[in-house]
């Protein structure tokens, strides 16, 4: 299961106050990335903070990793979690006559049809 975890600084926390923790924080996330637990990691564009996509069995497991982050241990961050599941197979929404087979480049098929020799005879 994928879990999106995103943080924000607690009130009064500044970039200056997190500097002593950053090196170990980044190293910790890198170790989890190499282990396949962290799949994606982004800086937030709307405010200071990060968004991390975990590959875990549960939100509780993702929380376990987050609680071990140096900035979390220091009590500087608040975290929110969004668990993600595989979507409903979209085929269930379609009429059975709709082609939901393997995708193909429809533009290529159109080009092939338009460049094929015509079967009309010219007299």
User: Residue-wise pLDDT tens for the chain (123 aa)?
Assistant: 999 999 999 999 999 999 999 999 999 999 999 999 999 999 999 999 999 999 999 999 999 999 999 999 999 999 999 999 877 676 667 677 777 677 766 676 666 777 766 655 555
Exposure on the CB side of residue 58, measured as CA atoms within 13 A: 3
- Whether the model pTM is above 0.75: no
pLDDT (0 to 100) of residue 9:
95
Distance CA 48, CA 44 (A): 6
pLDDT (0 to 100) of residue 85:
85
* Residue 37 near residue 61 (C-beta atoms within 8 A): no
C-alpha distances in Å from residue 29, one per residue of 23, 35, 52, 81, 107:
10, 10, 9, 16, 42
pLDDT (0 to 100) of residue 92:
67
Distance CA 33, CA 108 (A): 39
Length of the chain: 123
pLDDT (0 to 100) of residue 120:
57
Second-level CATH architecture of 2-84:
2-Layer Sandwich (3.30)
Sketch the domain layout of the chain as residue ranges: 2-84
């Amino acid at each position: 299961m994928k879990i999106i975890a995103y943080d924000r600084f607690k009130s009064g926390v500044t970039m200056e106050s997190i500097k002593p923790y950053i090196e170990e924080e980044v190293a910790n996330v890198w170790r989890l990335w190499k282990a396949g637990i962290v799949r994606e990691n982004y800086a937030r564009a709307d405010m200071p903070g990060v968004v991390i996509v975990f590959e875990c069995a549960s939100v509780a497991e993702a929380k376990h990793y987050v609680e071990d982050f140096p900035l979390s241990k220091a009590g500087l961050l608040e975290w929110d979690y969004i668990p993600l599941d595989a979507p409903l197979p979209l085929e269930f929404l379609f009429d059975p006559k709709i082609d939901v087979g393997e995708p193909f480049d429809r533009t290529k098929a159109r080009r092939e049809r338009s460049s094929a020799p015509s079967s009309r005879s010219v007299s």
